[in-house]
């Protein structure tokens, strides 16, 4: 039913949906079976399924939908975003070099440093908001460039189309972590990337109640086959109920992202007027250093932002504690607004400035969110 020519908000409602042949049910069923009937010759039946660790109907429905909304040829869903990143990195055969952006999700950096590097890959970090830096850093040994845009937690933006051209010229793969933007706001494959990654735990699930991750591939090629094989052997597939919940979340992504984005812009504009704040990191503000690139490659600027307080760590902790409506918790992309002091959750050697608070802007009324921030800032 879904077709490429549909507008995003139509596509997201219908992508991957198939009529339920036996029951005529409109809503998808949850298929818990771990095993599937063999054909008469003892081999796999024509429907193609054999054992749940490899594939199951709910994962396949979600993967069909993700291919549609990201414009990909193949998709694989995983038990978490980290499982997806790990599978992709381990799916690279041979060795060589991996370039990752300087401001990426902390888990991605740690995985690359602690597991990819010892496995024989040289991992180097490059300022992802500066595509000239990628051009200087990339070389004949580079296998993969990992771009997270907008990035976590600084909301800096890398130029996907330009980085894709640089990668192609050097036969390197470009993977983009699209978690902060979601497919509603940005489609990296359409800008030349080879693989898109999502922590579906965030905007795709959308309700802070289901973990998951996904990769969407531009091509059905050896890389896709290897990552699928890795997922099968490592038991990293998303379970049926999680796949079902994630697809249900995806159905409302378009309307949720509209509200997240409108609210976040209102909050960012308000925070920019407060004298206690040194800097607001939101790509939708004209003052953001990468605003022009963001405006070119994103349909809107998303629901995430961060800000840095003049009063340092003490002021940041004070504001986080004084907020009422914002819940002090990690993660993002749910219906409720969250605040987090990133440096506190980054372990013994945090890389994030200790005066920074990250906000995941939810679906509440923006006036209530601003009022809560105002009273918290007034306590300084």
Ligand X SMILES: Cc1ncc(COP(=O)(O)O)c(C=O)c1O
The residues carrying an active-site annotation are: 53, 105, 177, 202
Q: Determine if 282 is a binding residue for ligand X (CB under 6 A).
A: no
Query: Does 149 help bind ligand X (rule: CB under 6 A)?
Result: no
Return the residue of 30, 44, 102, 107 that touches ligand X, per CB under 6 A: 107
Question: What minimum distance in Å lies between the beta carbon of 212 and ligand X?
Answer: 7
What is the rounded distance in angstroms from the CA atom of residue 249 to the CA atom of residue 279?
33
Report which secondary-structure segment, H or E, holds 216: strand 213-217
Rounded-to-integer distance, Cα 21 and Cα 1, Å: 15
Contacts (CB under 6 A) with ligand X, residues 183-212 = 199, 201, 211
Decide whether 52 or 200 has the Cβ nearer to ligand X: 200
User: Min. distance of Cβ 213 from ligand X in angstroms?
Assistant: 5
- For ligand X (CB under 6 A), the number of binding residues is 14
Q: Which residues contact 169 (CB under 8 A, 6 or more apart)?
A: none
Which residue stretch of 23-31, 174-182, 232-240, 309-317 sits at the interface with ligand X (rule: CB under 6 A)?
A: 174-182
Q: Does 103 bind ligand X (CB under 6 A)?
A: no
Q: With 0-12 CB in 10 A as exposed, 13-18 as middle and 19+ as buried, what is 91?
A: buried
82 sits near ligand X (criterion: CB under 6 A): yes
Among candidate residues 373, 357, 371, 304, the one with its CA nearest the CA of residue 156: 304
Name which of 109 and 288 has its Cβ closer to ligand X.
109
Residue nearest to ligand X (CB): 81
- Give me the count of residues in the chain: 380
**Minimum distance from residue 83 beta carbon to ligand X (Å):** 7
CB of 105 to ligand X, least distance (A): 4
Cβ proximity to ligand X: between 97 and 177 the closer is 177
Closest residue by Cα to residue 30 from 61, 73, 69, 76: 61
Burial class (CB in 10 A: 0-12, 13-18, 19+), 300: buried
- Taking CB under 6 A as the criterion, the residue among 68, 86, 163, 179 binding ligand X is 179
CB count within 10 Å of CB 242 equals 24
Helices and strands in the chain, H and E counts: 13, 12
Among 97, 103, 177, 194, binds ligand X (CB under 6 A): 177
Considering the rule CB under 6 A, would residue 281 count as an interface residue with ligand X?
no
Q: Please identify, using beta-carbon distances, which residue of 342 and 372 lies nearer to ligand X.
A: 342
Span of 75-83, 168-176, 314-322, 340-348 interacting with ligand X by CB under 6 A: 75-83
Say whether 149 sits in a helix, a strand or coil. Answer: coil
CB contact set of 206 (below 8 Å; sequence gap of 6+): 249, 252, 253, 256, 333, 334, 335
Binding site for ligand X (CB under 6 A): 80-82, 105, 107, 148, 152, 177, 179-180, 199, 201, 211, 213
């Amino acid at each position: 039913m879904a077709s490429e020519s549909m507008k995003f908000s139509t596509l997201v409602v219908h992508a991957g949906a198939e009529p339920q042949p036996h029951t005529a049910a409109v809503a998808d069923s949850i298929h818990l079976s771990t095993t599937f009937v063999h054909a008469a010759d003892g081999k796999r039946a024509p429907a193609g399924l054999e054992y749940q660790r490899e594939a199951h109907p709910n994962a396949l429905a979600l993967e069909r939908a993700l291919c549609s909304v990201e414009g990909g040829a193949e998709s694989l869903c995983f038990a978490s975003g980290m499982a997806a990143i790990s599978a992709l990195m381990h799916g690279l055969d041979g060795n060589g070099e991996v370039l990752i952006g300087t401001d990426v999700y902390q888990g991605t950096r740690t995985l690359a440093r602690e597991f990819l590097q010892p496995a024989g890959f040289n991992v180097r970090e490059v300022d992802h908001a500066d595509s000239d830096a990628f051009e200087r850093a990339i070389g004949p040994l580079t296998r993969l460039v990992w771009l997270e845009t907008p990035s976590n937690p600084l909301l800096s933006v890398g130029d996907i189309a330009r980085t894709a051209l640089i990668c192609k010229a050097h036969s390197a793969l470009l993977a983009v972590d699209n978690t902060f933007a979601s497919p509603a706001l940005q489609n990296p494959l359409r800008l030349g990337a080879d693989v898109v990654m999502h922590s579906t735990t965030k905007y795709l699930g959308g309700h802070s109640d289901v973990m998951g991750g996904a990769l969407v591939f531009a091509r059905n090629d050896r890389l896709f086959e290897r990552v699928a094989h890795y997922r099968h052997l490592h038991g990293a597939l998303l379970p049926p109920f999680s796949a079902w919940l994630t697809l249900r979340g995806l159905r409302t992504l378009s309307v949720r992202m509209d509200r997240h984005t409108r609210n976040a812009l209102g909050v960012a504009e308000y925070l920019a007027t407060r004298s206690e704040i040194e800097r607001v990191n939101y790509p939708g503000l004209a003052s953001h250093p990468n605003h022009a690139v963001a405006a070119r490659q994103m349909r809107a600027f998303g629901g995430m932002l961060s800000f840095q307080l003049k009063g340092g760590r003490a002021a940041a902790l004070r504001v986080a504690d004084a907020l009422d409506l914002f819940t002090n918790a990690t993660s993002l992309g749910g219906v409720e607004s969250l605040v987090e002091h990133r440096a506190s959750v980054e372990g013994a050697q945090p890389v994030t400035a200790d005066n920074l608070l990250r906000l995941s802007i939810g679906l509440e009324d923006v006036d209530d969110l601003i009022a809560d921030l105002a009273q918290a800032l007034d306590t300084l």
